[in-house]
Amino acid sequence: MTDSANTRTGRFKIRTSALRAYTMLLALIVIWLFFQWATIDQYHPYGLFLGAVNFSKLLQQMAVTGVLAVGMLMVIVCGNIDLSVGAVVGLSGGIAAMSQGWGVVPSLAAAIVVGLLIGAIQGTLVAYVNIPAFIVTLGGLEAWRGVILKLTKGATIPVEHPFFRSLGRDFIDPRIGFGLAIAGIAAIAWTNIRRNRARQRHGLKVLSAAAIATRILFPSVVIVAFIFLMNKAGGVPIPVIFLLAVALAGSFLTANTTFGRYLYAIGGNPDAARLSGINLRRYILAAFCVMGALAGLASILHTARVGSASPDAGSLMELDAIASCVIGGTSLMGGRGTVFGAVLGALILASLDNGMSLLNVENWAQYVVKGGVLVAAVGFDMFGRRKA
């Protein structure tokens, strides 16, 4: 293939990826506007859905799924799958609740360590024993659920430590929220200016001052509006802070590190990656370890928000995490996907759940709608692949 053909292919892929991202954003906006209109009544003349209190609850609900989706993205991108994360959330949360007597820090650390160890066990079986990830994690789904059932003897364990509960329910001080907004805007400005200077040093086409200002202004307005809305509901929820931190770290890891590039290479073409000298086993194991650790973190947020740990906690969370990735543009074949897309997919799912609950839609209809959205997302993905 000639250089010009390579260039055209690369540009087409970039345009396709951008189109998918814009389509998902448009779909999210349409969902929000519809539910805002549908929840107008005599008590809420402008609608209830996008109100500060309800939107805050919406974000708290999607934080756990969003954290899981970031880890699931890394596993799927390298050509694998993890069906056990819901059971891992239940087991890790149960361990954290049962170990509250050790102190809050050891109990929280225990949840993450348990998740990490499970990820290491399953990753070793997949990467070094060559058992398909589907089988390993399907077995893990059953096994880890059985372990927590044995440990708790079927009982529900309440979360008694106030700090533990606060991680899933409380808000940061509004003044801290504004401080984070200022820091975020400064980071966006610095990143854009630094990138433009780097392009200038390398003799590449630089953006105009107006283009840079637009790239800084638009996300800055979104950040400020978000902080104002959250502060009307008492502040930014703590689970959302954890999600933002995980998303930013995951985005940097996948887009700006050798680890991330190798994951995409392994999922895109494992044979070529192997011939290039990439240690497939090591990076697949690392992806499962990251997934396990994030499942441990998600278990803390979920257990704290619910206020207790139960043997069936986390049921079907693995499906929500996988659906979030797929809706956000991640290919189940591996090699393609972004953290932004995965979190966006989690937000779309949470918006559908929250909006249909406000409208008192029956449970069976909610499942049908969510299933239809998932199938439509996969169909859109396959259409894009055929066009490519």
**Helix intervals (H) in the chain:** 3-38, 52-77, 85-98, 104-127, 133-152, 162-169, 174-201, 209-232, 238-256, 258-268, 270-275, 280-306, 317-327, 339-358, 363-387
Between 257 and 17, name the one with better pLDDT: 257
Task: Name the token pair of 265.
Answer: 């290479």
At residue 7, the pLDDT reads 43
Lowest mean pLDDT among 17-21, 158-162, 180-184, 333-337: 17-21
Q: What is the DSSP string of 120-144?
A: HHHHHHHHTS---HHHHHHHHHHHH
Average pLDDT over residues 1-17: 47
Kindly report the backbone phi and psi dihedral angles of residue 308, in degrees, each rounded to the nearest multiple of 5, phi listed first: -165, 165
User: 308-309 and 157-158: which strand pairing?
Assistant: antiparallel
* Per-residue confidence band for 111, with pLDDT thresholds at 50, 70 and 90: very high
Distance CA 184, CA 108 (A): 28
Q: What is the CA radius of gyration of the chain?
A: 22
290/263 Cα distance (integer angstroms):
12
pLDDT for residue 3:
46
**From the CB of residue 251, how many other CB atoms can be counted at a distance below 10 Å?**
18
Q: Is the pTM of this model over 0.85?
A: yes
> What is the average pLDDT value for the chain, to the nearest integer?
87
Q: How far apart, in whole angstroms, are the C-alpha atoms of residue 337 and residue 53? A: 32
Q: What is the pLDDT of residue 1?
A: 44
- At residue 87, the 3 state secondary structure works out as helix
**What is the model's pLDDT at position 375?**
83
Is the pLDDT at 127 greater than 70? The verdict is yes
The domain locations on the chain are 13-37+48-79+111-130+237-298+314-362+374-387, 173-236
Least confident segment among 2-6, 157-161, 319-323, 363-367 = 2-6
In this model, does residue 208 exceed pLDDT 90? no
Angle between helices 162-169 and 104-127 (to 10 degrees): 60
How many CB atoms are closer than 10 A to CB 79?
22
Q: How many residues does this entry show for the chain?
A: 388
Is it the case that residue 303 has pLDDT exceeding 70?
yes
Mean pLDDT of 177-196: 88
